[in-house]
Structure 1
Amino acid sequence: MTTKILVTGGAGFIGSEIVKQLSAHDEYEIRVLDALTKQIHGNNPEKSYLFQSIKDCCDFIRGDVRDFTTVQKALEGVDVVLHLAAETGTGQSMYMINQYSEVNVMGLSNIFQALSLKGKSNTIRKVILSSSRSVYGEGKYQCPNCGVVYPRGRKTKDMMQGDFTMHCDKCNTVLTLIPTTEDSKTTPNSLYAFTKLSQEMMIQTMCPAMDIDYTIFRFQNVYGAGQSLKNPYTGILSIFSSLLLDNKDINIFEDGKESRDFIHVKDVASAVIKSINTAVSNGEIINLGSGIGTSVIEIAETVKRIYGSTSNLNVTGDFRIGDIAHNVADTQKARKLLDFTPSISLQEGLTEFCKWVLGQETDNSRYEQSLTEMERSGMFIRK
């Protein structure tokens, strides 16, 4: 018996990888709902790499999750919903507030509204949400005086003076990063993060009320082939690649020591798919990451070396309001519930990514434009 799966945002970076991996299993019938937005897919979206990679793997509906009638149509006969459709990017979210709220919050609301109208004819047995580590804000730290703390964020005045370290909100002592567990306090410090936390809370409220199982994944920094090279608001790998291939200098924000937990898109997709029929994942929030922090300057140096670029890496002290200092996920729950261990190392993944990029069109013209937009809105500070 086949399981009919709706993947919202299934032509996106992560969604398309999930669709490709699902299509390798005969027991799944796949439907995709995606708006094919210009920011992700460019001016000819139906010719984009991502759309071309999934168009023959699914029943495709081009439409917006904000359109209730379209959502109703997409849900017909579906057993499982993988909800990935969302606006992404912390910086852009701070001045495109209505756009992020409408797509991320009202888009999911449309799904539950449609399901509520189905009543007993509803066939959905599980909803799987792609959330984000951004809901943790700065994450989990150790203070020598106050113990485990969850700092609200860094102060702009400190960052203006070149101090990018994390200080305790209570005693102002410099903190030590520790892996963020799923039970950590959530302190979103961007509108994007707020909308993802809102999605989580909606899932946790509505799914039990409708007798639907759910699993919520908090993705760390997902990367890999297929990552948008046209969206200047997300993905340092894409931004760095475009500049390095043109041998243009790279502006490394802050002190370059800010770190992220990178996880390959293929590993993320396999874990999400495994959760579809893994009962112990029901009702759980699960981190998906490598559990290893890598600094931005390390990433830039590695990618520069792979490309053989002559670009200069300039650590400028510029910074974006709302950017976190560090993040490293505690991945014990993923290992326990899903037997999840990343199969692709960062070096292997970066090499594969760079090889893919060399076969694609890159465009860095919108990157400076994006910084100008953020600067105009007060969200980007040049030193």
Structure 2
Amino acid sequence: MSKTCLVTGGAGFIGCALSPLLAGQFSRVVAFDNLHPQVHPSAERPAALDSRVEFVKGDVTCPEDWDRVLKDFAPDVVIHLAAETGTGQSLMEASRHAHVNVTGTTQMLDALVRNNPEALPERIVLTSSRAVYGEGAWKDANGAIVYPGQRSREQLERAEWDFPSLKALPFNSHTTTPDPTSVYGATKLAQEHILSSWCLALGVTPVMLRLQNVYGPGQSLINSYTGIVSLFARMAKEGKSIPVYEDGVIIRDFVFIDDVANAIFAATIHSDGTTKPYDVGSGEATSVAQLADIISRYYKAPEHHINGKYRHGDVRHASCTIEETKEVLNWSPKIMVEEGVHILCKWIDDGAQA
């Protein structure tokens, strides 16, 4: 049976990695992307996008662009990747993040109804973010679960990085209550709520994945908001000591791009349509200081240094449990952080383009 898949933000980092999987599964795949200069300096179709994928340049916030892309087909599946992603940037450009992430999502839904009301997609897959959790759940000395909320400006200025007498717990979409600490995180949670309510009302299956920190070959090397792994690699390659914020014990789950692409593909094909989002990570909690050490050793660069700086909106601990995701999607991550970092660094050394 002939089926079509539409991918918003399909020419980006994740979209390109996902494209060969989709092209092998669907009879037609269309990537819809505005080629934002923060990610695409040449404003050209990226070479990494599978040649079997059709490309349409357009903006998810523009109704006319939506009508243009949907004029000759009704997608069976939509994968919604398009988003503004900078945690710190979102605090300075809140309107931009809200416009793309929230209004862009509602424009998509309106366009699907406007253009093909009798042929809505079977499912819509959303790549959400671990940023929706904020600081998440912590445990006190008595074993009680508490939500300390966002670290205050005064707390950070005192270099009080953790919450006293509390231990951070990994995120889990079944048990952790979302409480974003950034505009970006708030817009991603809004996307989840908008998509879920729309889909359930109109008989479309919503599939949501909360991604941890994605990295790997193909990541933009000019966009300072796409992640610290490529930023650290560029510094160490130049022989610099990597500056590490706070006290270096910021925890993240760094998940390799191929594992993320495989998780999205599995959710696209196999998800049972649960309204609970899937947590997608490596399942391995890594401190930022540990990450800096791995990269510094690879390049034989000077040891990292702690600079005591901080960013408002950053959370202290961010990792997740992935057991439910592994079981339901029949998926598991294959590349852990040290191997993945080495693959990324080799890609950069081999002449990766920005």
Shorter-chain TM-score range = over 0.9
Task: Give SS of 2:221's match.
Answer: coil
Alpha-carbon separation, structure 2, partners of 1:64 and 1:296: 35
Does 2:157 match 1:160? yes
> 1:198 is aligned with what amino acid?
A
Does 2:16 match 1:5? no
Residues 182-191 or 281-290, more deviating: 281-290
State the Cα deviation string for residues 77-107 of structure 1 (Å, max 9, x = none): 2110000000011000001111111111111
Alpha-carbon separation, structure 2, partners of 1:186 and 1:111: 24
Runs of 4+ aligned structure 1 residues displaced above 4 Å come to none
The answer on whether the counterparts of 2:4 and 2:29 sit within 8 Å (CA) in structure 1 is yes
The answer on whether the counterparts of 1:225 and 1:352 sit within 8 Å (CA) in structure 2 is yes
Does 2:334 match 1:343? yes
The answer on whether the counterparts of 1:254 and 1:316 sit within 8 Å (CA) in structure 2 is yes
Alpha-carbon separation, structure 1, partners of 2:299 and 2:43: 27
Alpha-carbon separation, structure 2, partners of 1:11 and 1:84: 10
Does 2:62 match 1:64? no
User: Offset of 1:35 from its aligned partner?
Assistant: 0.8
- 2:78 is matched with 81
Q: Which residue, out of 146, 157, 180, partners 1:149?
A: 146
> 2:104 is aligned with what amino acid?
G
The answer on whether the counterparts of 1:81 and 1:127 sit within 8 Å (CA) in structure 2 is yes
- 2:99 is matched with 102
Alpha-carbon separation, structure 2, partners of 1:362 and 1:118: 38
Summarize the Cα distance change of 1:334–1:28 in structure 2 as closer, same or farther, 3 Å threshold: farther
User: Offset of 1:73 from its aligned partner?
Assistant: 2.9
Count the aligned residue pairs: 351
The answer on whether the counterparts of 1:34 and 1:85 sit within 8 Å (CA) in structure 2 is yes
The answer on whether the counterparts of 2:77 and 2:123 sit within 8 Å (CA) in structure 1 is yes
Alpha-carbon separation, structure 2, partners of 1:275 and 1:234: 23
User: Offset of 1:26 from its aligned partner?
Assistant: 4.7
Task: Give SS of 2:44's match.
Answer: helix
User: Offset of 1:279 from its aligned partner?
Assistant: 4.6
* Structure 2 residues not aligned, in runs of 5+: none
User: Offset of 1:123 from its aligned partner?
Assistant: 3.7
User: Offset of 1:350 from its aligned partner?
Assistant: 1.0
User: Offset of 1:361 from its aligned partner?
Assistant: 5.6
Task: Give SS of 1:73's match.
Answer: helix
Alpha-carbon separation, structure 2, partners of 1:361 and 1:96: 29
Alpha-carbon separation, structure 2, partners of 1:306 and 1:138: 31
Alpha-carbon separation, structure 2, partners of 1:176 and 1:317: 21
Alpha-carbon separation, structure 2, partners of 1:71 and 1:41: 21
- 1:375 is matched with none
State the Cα deviation string for residues 30-71 of structure 1 (Å, max 9, x = none): 1000111111112x1317xxx111151311001111111212
Question: Percent same amino acid at aligned positions?
Answer: 34
> 2:9 is aligned with what amino acid?
G
The answer on whether the counterparts of 2:279 and 2:321 sit within 8 Å (CA) in structure 1 is yes
TM-score, length basis structure 2? 0.94
Residues 245-254 or 298-307, more deviating: 245-254
Q: Which residue, out of 287, 290, 310, partners 2:282?
A: 290
> 1:160 is aligned with what amino acid?
E
TM-score, length basis structure 1? 0.87
Alpha-carbon separation, structure 1, partners of 2:332 and 2:219: 22
- 2:316 is matched with 325
- 2:43 is matched with 45
Alpha-carbon separation, structure 2, partners of 1:124 and 1:20: 21
- 2:294 is matched with 302
> 1:331 is aligned with what amino acid?
I
Task: Give SS of 1:215's match.
Answer: strand
